[in-house]
Chains A and B, each alone.
Chain A
Amino acid sequence: MATSIVVVGVGGQGVLTLARWIGEASLSEGYDVRIAEVHGMSQRGGSVEVHVRFGKVVYAPIVEEGGADYVVALEAVEALRAFRYLKPGGVLVVNKRVIQPPGRWISEEELLGSLQRSGVKTYIVPAADVARELGSVMYENAVMLGFLSQLLGLPMPPSLDDRNREAFRRGARLPV
């Protein structure tokens, strides 16, 4: 049985990087892994969606709608868009951050509140706040990864630099 994760966010947020880290961590645990990336058009400020599957043996590189164990959103509007991937009992992990879509302003309270009331098991991770404490939004993804490591049972991937390692540890200590 493979674990299926859909990682989403906005172009430029480092969605690919986070997905790759999950992949590296899985590989270092001896799992087979597939990461289905998107390039080109989707890099330009649009929605980005990367699928990660790991397990003893993995065949399919993409997750079907209603097939994800986890949806990990680096941004809350994109969490709504990826909602359809969740399978019954699937878990949503959302970075507490909103990047406003063009032409409409949704308040953070409205958005996060609606996710928490949706009936889906939802974790809201203050990764943006922790990253700011560490000095840069660049560390958001490592905080998210640290938090996820608690749910997925995966170790820290080997390629993180010192600042990201610190961010990972902070994420790994956030209460689940």
Chain B
Amino acid sequence: MRLLLLGNEAIAYGALASGLAVATAYPGTPSTEIVETLVEFRDRFVHWASNEKSAFELAYGAAVAGARSLTAMKHVGLNVAADPLHSAAYTGVEGGFVIVTADDPWMHSSQNEQDTRWYGVQAYVPVLEPSDPAEAYKYVKLAFDLSEKLRHPVILRSVTRVSHVRAPVEVEPPAPPKWGRFTRDVKRFNLVPANARELRKALVEKWEKIAELSADFITVEGSGDVFIVTTGVAYNYVKEALSRLRVDATVVKLGMSVPVPRSLRNLVGGEAVVVEEGDPVVEVQLRSLGVATRGKLDGYFPRYGELDTGKTALGLSKALGLPYSPPQPPKPPIEPPPRPPSLCPGCPHMATFYILRLATAGLSPVWSGDIGCYSLGINLGQQDLITHMGSSVGLGAGIAVAGKHFVVATVGDSTFYHAVLPQLVDVASRSIPLLIVVMDNAYTAMTGGQPSPSRAIPVEKITEALGLPTFVIDPVEVKKSVEVVKKAVEIVKSGRPAVVVSRRPCALVAVRKARRAGLQLPRYQVDPDRCTGCGLCYNLLKCSAIYRRPDGKAYVDPALCVGCGVCAEVCPFNAFKPEGRREAWLELWQQA
């Protein structure tokens, strides 16, 4: 069956064809669709975990017991799972265990660039690197076989332009899941120092064998004295750049980029141009083998961002001393104004931010933010720091103890369960004064709406159990909510922590459900006679369905309004008028 598949879907189908039994993940762009595809297959154990460490451990444990398992995450997610990753190489596994990480060069949807292959070097885990969806399908099968043969975890490294590229892929039907049974082996699975020392020696020896096996994954194309070593998505740019430069070269493609095969030194004769996406991981390894390289280390190719055919052609032309003039991009007739991503029209937590601003007026708070939808609060001037999952409460507590700041830590419900629970224990046990605001929309929304644990385990049950005073609000009730949040603010001002849980589900999910239920949403329009152009709605609330007309008055784009009615709540001049009623809609929304 030939299908037009996303790289991530191809990975999922490859895993199914390999007899996958257990798959786990925490969603993160660009890795999400792997497990999203697998969720449909009910004869396997597929789970959205609370974070990557938990996901990793579930899959690792299953593989230790002999089941074929896969865990998927984005590059920064692997940091969360880095601890068990390093142990997994020591103990090895019984069933095939494939760790898929999707790197995000140029940070389309991430806080940093990170090359997962370094983790392969550091943790002694081999890395396979597919160049496109069809190869991703093939490599995940190879990865399962290799892992089971070596009894060792294997990383499959993808990047945005493999995971989120759609291409034709030939797909076989799923194979029955391969489950397992745990066999006790205390010396192998108990990493106490006496055992771990022995395992460490064995691991280093095994690594040499893996480095030999790496040669099986080499493909060589073309001919000529010029050797180009490449891997992953970069291979595609090399192919197109070479035909543009009209140069003969031997292209050596590494299917396994960590560890590089020792025999590569003989193959390329001591000198090569290296083209790879991300850091110079292959290049550094080649230099350690004594091969002279030209690549990123000498600046022939950029050390940041993504490659493309143009950058590759330019780099190759410089490295090989060939003439090349890159295409000159034309200038637009008008400089396009920026259109930054913003909270969706009707996002209930646009109102939460507004409520927080009113309730903390005069305190000039430090806004300690977090990863996910609410990082978009940056457009509202309400995100002073966002560094990683869990930074809201973690760094916020540090700022609170460092000085006399009033700190507001804002976090989504999914991130709350992912990375904030241990920090809350510290805040509660030392009574660190911090206003913690959990914007609960019941989903991991930015990655497309995976379920979050918040409905099964309400946030307030946890914070109350920790002894933290907790207030629950519905953000579309703006005025009422401001009064409630002010009570929490008073507690923090008195030197103690407090929690506000602002609860209303993701508007995108709710609108979809309303459409399916055939419910007509109310729409709000501006009465131009009442609107004074004060700008409260478009400058302060900043609803992205509301524009400022050239005369200063507000205008609601009817195609974007979802009828939340927050504009009508905040407008002092009563200028927003609904078409249709709001009650049934708000009721359905709260259940979404």
Q: Does A134 contact B (CB under 8 A)?
A: no
A64 and B310 contacting across the interface, CB-CB below 8 Å: yes
Q: Is the interface of B mostly helix, strand, loop or mixed?
A: loop
Tally chain A residues at the interface, Cβ within 8 Å.
Answer: 57
Are B334 and A80 closer than 8 Å at their CB atoms?
A: yes
| B306, CB-defined interface residue at 8 Å | yes
Q: B360 contacts the other chain (Cβ, under 8 Å)?
A: no
Q: Are the C-beta atoms of A41 and B166 separated by less than 8 Å?
A: no
Q: If A33-B168, A45-B345 touch, does A84 touch B329 (CB 8 Å cutoff)? A: yes
Known: A114-B334, A118-B333. A46 touches B342 (CB 8 A): yes
Partner of B168, one of A32, A41, A67: A32
Complexed CA–CA distance, A106 and B341 (Å): 19
B326 touches A44 (CB 8 A): no
How many residues of chain B have a CB within 8 Å of chain A? 60
Query: Are B340 and A85 neighbours in the complex by a CB distance under 8 Å?
Result: no
A154 within 8 Å of B (CB atoms): no
Determine the distance from Cα of A118 to Cα of B342 in the docked complex, in whole angstroms.
Answer: 30
Indicate with 1 or 0, residue by residue over A59-100, a CB within 8 angstroms of chain B CB atoms.
111111111000000000110110111111000000000011
Q: B166 and A34: CB pair below 8 A?
A: yes
Instruction: Establish whether residues A105 and B550, one from each chain, have CB atoms under 8 Å apart when the complex forms.
Output: yes
Q: Which of chain B's residues has its CB closest to A49's CB?
A: B108
Which of A37, A42, A61 interacts with B236 by CB under 8 Å? A61
A39→B29 contact, CB < 8 A: yes
Q: Are B29 and A41 in contact (CB under 8 A)?
A: yes
B311 at the interface (CB under 8 A from A): yes
With a cutoff of 8 Å between Cβ atoms, the chain B residues found around residue A174 in the complex are: none
- How far is A81 from B332 in the complex, measured between Cα atoms in Å? 7
Check if B344 sits within 8 Å of A44, measured CB to CB.
yes
**Chain A residue contacts of B340, Cβ below 8 A:** 46, 102
> Whole-angstrom distance from the CB of B222 to the nearest CB of chain A?
13
- Contact in complex: A77, B233 (CB < 8 Å): no
The answer, yes or no, to whether A135 is at the interface (CB within 8 Å) is no
Is there a chain A Cβ closer than 8 Å to B479's Cβ?
A: no
Known: A45-B344, A101-B337, A105-B549. A39 touches B330 (CB 8 A): no
What's the minimum C-beta distance from B544 to chain A, rounded to whole angstroms?
A: 5
Give the number of A-B contacts (CB < 8 Å): 179
Chain B hits for A105, CB < 8 A = 547-550
Chain A: minimal CB distance from B175 (Å): 26
A124: Cβ under 8 A from any B Cβ: no
Closest to B375 in A: A41
Residues in B neighbouring A80, C-beta threshold 8 A = 332-336
CB-CB under 8 A from B548, the residues of chain A are: 103, 105
Which B residues are in CB contact (< 8 Å) with A38?
Answer: 108-109, 164
A39/B448 in contact, CB under 8 A:
yes
Chain A residues within 8 Å of B142, by CB: none
Taken together as a complex, chains A and B put the C-alpha atoms of A47 and B108 apart, in Å, by: 12
Task: Indicate if the CB atoms of B339 and A67 lie closer than 8 Å.
Answer: no
> CB distance B4 to A66 under 8 Å?
no
Cβ–Cβ < 8 Å partners of A85 in chain B: 329
Residue among A40, A63, A64, A87 with the highest chain B CB neighbour number at 10 A: A40
Contact B239 A59 (CB under 8 A): yes
Residue A169 lies at the interface, judged by CB distance under 8 Å to chain B: no
Shortest CB-to-CB span from B96 to chain A, Å, is: 28
Asked if A64 meets B330 with Cβ closer than 8 Å, knowing A102-B339, A105-B549, the reply is no
Does the CB pair B328–A66 fall under 8 Å? yes
Contact A45 B327 (CB under 8 A): no
Q: CB distance B446 to A35 under 8 Å?
A: no
- State the CA gap A18–B340 with chains docked (Å): 22
Residues of A within 8 A of B549 (CB): 105
Alpha-carbon gap, A34 to B330, bound state (A): 24
Instruction: Tell me whether A44 and B165 are in contact in the complex, defined as CB-CB below 8 angstroms, given that A64-B327, A105-B549 are known contacts.
Output: no
Contact A46 B339 (CB under 8 A): yes
Chain A interface residues toward B at CB < 8 A: 10-11, 20, 23-24, 27, 32-47, 59-67, 77-78, 80-81, 83-88, 99-106, 110-111, 114-115, 117-118, 120, 137
9 A-B pairs besides A83-B336, A102-B340, A103-B337 with CB distance below 8 A are: A41-B108, A46-B339, A62-B308, A63-B308, A65-B327, A65-B329, A67-B327, A100-B557, A118-B332
User: What are 28 A-B contacts with C-beta separation under 8 Å?
Assistant: A33-B166, A33-B167, A35-B167, A37-B164, A37-B166, A38-B164, A39-B30, A39-B109, A39-B447, A40-B30, A40-B32, A44-B341, A45-B339, A59-B237, A60-B236, A60-B308, A60-B309, A65-B327, A65-B329, A78-B336, A83-B329, A88-B328, A100-B557, A102-B342, A102-B544, A105-B548, A106-B337, A118-B333
